[in-house]
Amino acid sequence: MYKFTLGLSIVLFHCIISTAQPTANDLFNQVSPSLAIITAGTSTGSGFICDISGKIRLVTNEHVLRNGRPISATLISGQKLRLGSTIHLADDLDLAIIDIIETNDISYLTLSSKQPQIGEHIYVFGNSDGGGVATSLEGGIIGVGPDRVEIDAAFVLGNSGSPIMLSDGTVFAVATYIQRSSDPKDWVKKGTRFNDTRRFGLLLSNRTWIPTTPKEYFSQITMFEDVMTYAYELLEIGNRDIKDKYIYDKNSYKYIKYKGFCQLIDEYSKRISQLAYDIDQVDKYKRVEQRVASIDENNAMGSYYDYKIKELENIRNTSARKLQMHSAKMIHMPTKWLNEIRWITKRFRDEADNWVVALGVLGLEKEWIQISD
């Protein structure tokens, strides 16, 4: 009986040792040769090398790449990766993979075949806060969905593109975004974790990848940047009074590629200046008419000023109509341009549709554009 108990104890002890969670430091040291710091333009993010569908590729978030060219990736060892000429974008999620040239002797991670479970211990390794060094974070899965997970490992900006790993050293998701409650004083969420910062990762398995070139990719990203700049300009115009001169440089550097936005706003600035002048002329003759009437008891000049004011009001109405038509054009043309583009992914198409809605909300229907009777 004693021998059996001792033997059972040894077996149980062995099982406990073999199933214990690895320390974050141990796992980090194991996978660190596969971790990369990604530079896109002037910003940095995280990435990692992984076997995706039988090919060794660099994995990150799509938004990490948006900040511009050139895109480069450096391993923790200091080795610079030679990136291929193809970017693969997830059709419906903020994920991207890039081909790597010369994958011999490169360490890489493997995808987990397991479904994530609430309570599982996880690790996040990446370029926290853009510091240029890979850091080690750990926590647990606290929410699962069909294409994402919520975790409590405290990743921050710069960790976008970091692998979210299980204790067996496999990767299953990518640290992607942080969400805060829109109303911290919301009494429904008060006292719960949903009134605090929440962190999410996107699942890598079962994704549809759309190949594209850097040229096509950055052309479409440029359109998003230009339409955002245009929307801000519409807001600025919409907050102006008719008497405020709106001077616009059609050669403005603000727009990276789509100069059609410049032409629309340049024409608008000219038409609004013309309408402001016409309104001023009407007001001027009305003031003169009032002064003349105050000293001309017989109102001998009244009919002349009535005629002149009516004539100027017609001119003003013509200018108002032209401005109304151009205001509609300023929404219609960008909408047309956005709809004509063959967007790389469904996610880009959805983003373009959101801009169409936003531009419609920013329509330039101002009181002083209205046509008088």
Q: What is the pLDDT of residues 289-319, one digit of tens each?
A: 777 666 665 655 667 767 777 888 888 888 8
In a shared domain, residues 345 and 246: yes
Residues 50-66 have pLDDT tens digits of 999 999 999 999 999 99
As a whole-number percent, the residues of the chain with pLDDT over 70 amount to 84
What pLDDT sits at residue 232? 86
Name the packing angle between helices 346-361 and 214-238 (round to 10°).
10
What pLDDT sits at residue 265? 84
pLDDT band (50, 70, 90) for residue 5: very low
What pLDDT sits at residue 268? 81
In a shared domain, residues 169 and 243: no
Number of domains in the chain: 2
Q: Give the contacts of 219 (CB within 8 A, at least 6 positions apart).
A: 257
Domain span at residue 265? 216-369
* pLDDT of residue 126 exceeding 50: yes
Least confident window among 20-29, 259-268, 360-369: 360-369
In a shared domain, residues 326 and 361: yes
* pLDDT of residue 18 exceeding 60: no
What pLDDT sits at residue 4? 41
What pLDDT sits at residue 284? 80
**CATH number of the domain that residue 49 is part of:** 2.40.10.120
What pLDDT sits at residue 263? 84
Name the packing angle between helices 260-295 and 302-340 (round to 10°).
170
In a shared domain, residues 251 and 114: no
Q: What is the pTM of this model?
A: 0.83
What pLDDT sits at residue 309? 77
As a whole-number percent, the residues of the chain with pLDDT over 90 amount to 53
In a shared domain, residues 301 and 230: yes
Q: Is 177 inside a domain boundary?
A: yes
In a shared domain, residues 356 and 233: yes
In a shared domain, residues 82 and 59: yes
What pLDDT sits at residue 367? 46
Residues 200-232 have pLDDT tens digits of 999 999 999 999 999 999 999 999 999 998 888
In a shared domain, residues 189 and 318: no
What pLDDT sits at residue 139? 97
What pLDDT sits at residue 69? 85
Residues 135-194 have pLDDT tens digits of 999 999 999 999 999 999 999 999 999 999 999 999 999 999 999 877 767 778 887 888
Checking 73-76 for CB contacts under 8 A at 24+ apart, the result is 73/36, 73/37, 73/38, 73/39, 73/47, 73/98, 74/36, 74/37, 74/39, 75/33, 75/34, 75/35, 75/36, 75/49, 76/32, 76/33, 76/35, 76/36, 76/37, 76/134
In a shared domain, residues 165 and 230: no
Q: Which of 169, 194, 211 is the last residue of a domain?
A: 211
In a shared domain, residues 28 and 159: yes
In a shared domain, residues 41 and 120: yes
* pLDDT of residue 86 exceeding 90: yes
Q: Is 8 inside a domain boundary?
A: no
What pLDDT sits at residue 220? 96
What pLDDT sits at residue 233? 83
Q: Is 60 inside a domain boundary?
A: yes
Average pLDDT, the chain: 85
What pLDDT sits at residue 242? 61
CB burial string 335-364: b at 16+ within 10 A, e below: bebbeeeebbbebbbebbeebeeebeebeb
Average pLDDT over residues 79-103: 95
What pLDDT sits at residue 179? 93
Q: Give the other-Cβ count within 10 Å of 11's Cβ.
A: 10
pLDDT band (50, 70, 90) for residue 271: confident
The DSSP code for 130 is G
Q: What are phi and psi of 364, to 5 degrees?
A: -95, 55
